[in-house]
Amino acid sequence: MGVKLVRIDDRLIHGQVCSTWIGDYGIEQVLIINDKVSKDPVQKSVVGLAAPAGVRVLVFGVDQFIEVLKKNPIKKDTLLLFTTSTDVLKVVNGGLEIQKVNAGGMRYNETRKRLTKSISVTPEEESAFKELMDKGIEVFVQMVPKDDVVYMKDLI
């Protein structure tokens, strides 16, 4: 029970997450931790529609999640879904204890450096990944569970 997977994917809940990660990890609830989504009522209502039946989806802002976590330990088999490594680092610094982070999708644009086909980072995100690894957290890139694992330490 508790956090089964921490994933960074800027697409949030989509086909790969629903058809593979949720099923393979026996996920009962998805907690999306993202300030922008938490403040957008339309996006908040839409993300829940993409999840499989019976999987609860809740959305929190980053600071809000840190406060909730202090009072309520996670008891259900849970997927924590983030859009950036900087948000993961902030939550870890706020008290979340994790061993691994799966980087699944961070889209490329002109402000980002491409690390793999699916992962591009800003300087701040790259620094956050390094800090997570310095804390002993294993960071790996894997789009779907059947793909080979690529370790972030080999990319940055």
Q: Write out pLDDT tens, residues 42-78.
A: 888 888 787 888 899 999 999 999 999 999 989 999 9
Q: Where in the chain are the domains?
A: 3-154
pLDDT at 18 over 70: no
Q: Which of 2, 14, 46, 95 is catalytic?
A: 14
Per-residue pLDDT tens for 89-134? 999 999 999 999 999 888 888 889 999 888 999 999 999 999 999 9
Q: Is the pTM of this model over 0.85?
A: yes
Rounded (5°) CA angle 49-1-99:
95
**Given this model, what pLDDT does residue 16 score?**
64
Distance, CA of 72 to chain centre: 19
DSSP string, 88-126: HHHHHHTT---SEEEEEEB---TTSEESSSSBEE-HHHH
pLDDT of 14: 67
Lowest mean pLDDT among 27-31, 79-83, 115-119, 121-125: 115-119
Assign domain 3-154 to a CATH class: alpha beta
The per-residue pLDDT for 15 is: 67
Query: Is 25 labeled as catalytic in the residue annotation?
Result: no
Q: What is the pLDDT of residue 82?
A: 96
DSSP state, residue 148: P
